[in-house]
Amino acid sequence: MEIDWEQLRTAAVEAMRNAYAPYSNFPVGVAGLVDDGRVIVGCNVENASYGVTLCAECGLVSSLHATGGGRLVAVSCVGGDGEPLMPCGRCRQLLYEHGGADCLVEAVPRPLRVSELLPFAFGPEDLVAAEASKEPKVPSRLLRWRGRGTVFVHPDLAAGQRVWTGYWDRSTGTDGKETGILEEAPTWGTSTTRLPGAGCAHPGSC
């Protein structure tokens, strides 16, 4: 997609003129090119409670989704003098989330990719990887008993391990009556290790 940086900068300057910055007197405007060709804008909006001030890029990504979504392809951010301005750290994270590593940001002497402004960025794929690492692998000998009882997984954070304990809520004595609850002895091991056998309430079956 062809990027008209002059058009983006002009749109960013117009947005900057609408900024609400009575405390810092540092107006900021930003314009972004979306992958469907539309141009969206945002400006900074300050607050007497300084911590809730919104950067121009916050307005940009809100506008992105309010007008149909999509992905940012290129962004021009300007200060009060109309010259290119680098996004702050939080805003680089916003641009990574909504434009990805290859989104271009106007800079001097050349546009820079977000991946250059925010190397090793944290993104959705990191959440997927983190969740996947939490998935416990139930020992096969316990899997055989699923449906006949419940397998509980207890985290042991101090040891960085998980303990597997199998419970069966019915057991049969010689008289054919229920005799209570059987509990398998705990088995310790890391979630990525094939756990060895342990004491079992069903000799010869585990």
Active site residues: 57
Measure CA 2 to chain center.
30
Burial of 35 (0-12, 13-18, 19+ CB in 10 A): middle
Strands 187-189 and 161-168, bridge-based pairing: antiparallel
Question: Contact 84/107 with Cβ under 8 angstroms?
Answer: yes
Report the relative pairing of strands 72-78 and 29-34 from DSSP bridges.
antiparallel
For 206, the token pair is 């585990």
The dihedral built from the CA positions of residue 18, 20, 23 and 29, taken in this order, carries a sign that is negative
